[in-house]
Amino acid sequence: MAPDEVSYSPHGSDRVLPLDEAECRSRLRSRTLGRIAVKLADDLVIVPVYYAVMDDDIVFRTAPGTKLSAALLKTKVAFEVDGAAPGWSVLVRGHVEEIRKQEEQARARSVLGDEWPAGERDHLVRIRTEQVTGRWLLPLP
């Protein structure tokens, strides 16, 4: 349901409406920059990544560091994308892993394309989507 199709009252809960799964997946595919939240030991980190969607999973390139360490440990992570005017947010939860099979690496490189930030980002990582949720954040009347 689009926000302009909704009538709502000024009460707080009426300004946050759920997106259905199909709309969430469409919005995930409409962006290339998101944020991954990773917890390793006592450290919680949220960092931006350029990404693509492959088989309903999130894929991205990374260098050695927090994101790759999480992938090697198959850690549970959260991934978020959003937009404004009107506001919306999509949250993906799942386990992250390094992509090691050559055929999957080739597919991931293909969907990611050739543009990404400068620096060595040779590792391909996938977030195996276990749950996807989203919401409209409607403006105040």
Query: Tens digit of pLDDT for each residue in 88-121?
Result: 999 999 999 999 999 999 999 999 987 666 667 7
Determine, yes or no, domain membership for 19: no
DSSP track, 69-82? HHHHTT-EEEEEEE
Q: Tell me the pTM.
A: 0.84
Residue 132 lies in a domain: yes
pLDDT digits (tens, 9 = 90+) for 17-49: 999 999 999 999 999 999 999 988 888 999 999
Cis preceding-peptide flag for 86 (omega within 30 of 0): yes
Any domain includes 11: no
Note whether residue 71 is domain-resident. Answer: yes
User: So what's the pLDDT on residue 116?
Assistant: 65
Mean pLDDT, to the nearest integer, of 75-83?
A: 95
Expressed as residue numbers, the domain containing 95 is 33-137
Q: Supply the CATH number for residue 59's domain.
A: 2.30.110.10
Q: Does 128 map to a domain?
A: yes
